């Protein structure tokens, strides 16, 4: 008679166990993958739109910050400060030696519609004023408005 030890008996029970296994079947895994792919296919387009919106707003903020910098510098230095736009590059000449250039990335200035390609800020906080049209890569438009009296800058849709 062959004697089976308790360890061997437990090992046989583990090998013969059916229905109590842990883990997922191939079918369950495929169903989970299909559900995940459906959810991703529905959310990715809205995520892309969100990224485009953030990109637009970031570019608009950078331009406004550049204009605010020129206005502050005009007030503090007592000298007029000019900002030009040409070929989708906004240029701020700080002085004869230094200039700041900002190349538009997600938008294009509609050069033919510009009422004035230069904005000047004066020591009293006023400016020449401007109404610059821009077209984004997605086809939408926005207008940069600089008030002549107060020198305040804002975007309009």
CATH number at residue 127: 3.55.40.10
Per-residue pLDDT at 148 exceeds 60? yes
Chain mean pLDDT for the chain: 85
120 in a structural domain:
yes
Report the pLDDT averaged over residues 65-86.
93
Cross-strand partners of 108? 135
Q: CA-to-CA distance for 80 and 66, rounded, in angstroms?
A: 15
pLDDT value of residue 92: 93
Work out the pLDDT band at 24, boundaries 50, 70, 90: confident
103 in a structural domain:
yes
85 in a structural domain:
yes
65 in a structural domain:
yes
Q: CA-to-CA distance for 10 and 146, rounded, in angstroms?
A: 83
Q: Give the number of domains in the chain.
A: 1
Length of the chain: 157
17 in a structural domain:
no
Per-residue pLDDT at 141 exceeds 70? yes
Q: What is the pLDDT of residues 126-138, one digit of tens each?
A: 999 988 889 888 8
Q: In which domain, by residue range, is 71 found?
A: 33-156
78 in a structural domain:
yes
Per-residue pLDDT at 5 exceeds 80? no
Helix, strand, or coil here: 29? helix
Q: What is the pLDDT of residues 30-66, one digit of tens each?
A: 999 999 999 988 888 888 888 888 989 999 999 999 9
Half-sphere exposure of 71 (CA within 13 A, CB side): 21
Output DSSP code: residue 127. B
Q: Pick 88 or 123 by higher pLDDT.
A: 123
Per-residue pLDDT at 115 exceeds 70? no
6 in a structural domain:
no
70 in a structural domain:
yes
Work out the pLDDT band at 157, boundaries 50, 70, 90: confident
Matching residue, tokens 């895994």? 29
Whether 126 contacts 149, CB under 8 Å:
yes
Tokens of 150: 């107060």
């Amino acid at each position: 008679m062959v004697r089976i030890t308790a360890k061997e008996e437990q090992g046989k029970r583990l090998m013969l166990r059916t229905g109590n296994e842990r883990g997922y079947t191939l079918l369950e895994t495929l169903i989970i993958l299909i559900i995940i792919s459906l959810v991703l296919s529905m959310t990715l387009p809205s995520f892309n739109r969100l990224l485009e919106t953030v990109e637009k707003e970031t570019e608009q903020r950078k331009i406004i910050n550049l204009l605010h910098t020129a206005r502050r510098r005009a007030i503090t230095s007592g000298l007029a400060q000019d900002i030009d736009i040409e070929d989708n590059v906004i240029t701020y000449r700080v002085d004869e030696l230094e200039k700041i250039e900002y190349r538009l990335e997600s938008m294009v200035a509609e050069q033919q519609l510009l009422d004035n390609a230069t904005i000047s800020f004066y020591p009293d906080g006023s400016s020449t004023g401007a109404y610059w049209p821009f077209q984004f890569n997605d086809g939408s438009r926005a207008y940069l408005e600089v008030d002549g009296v107060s020198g305040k800058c804002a975007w309009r849709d």
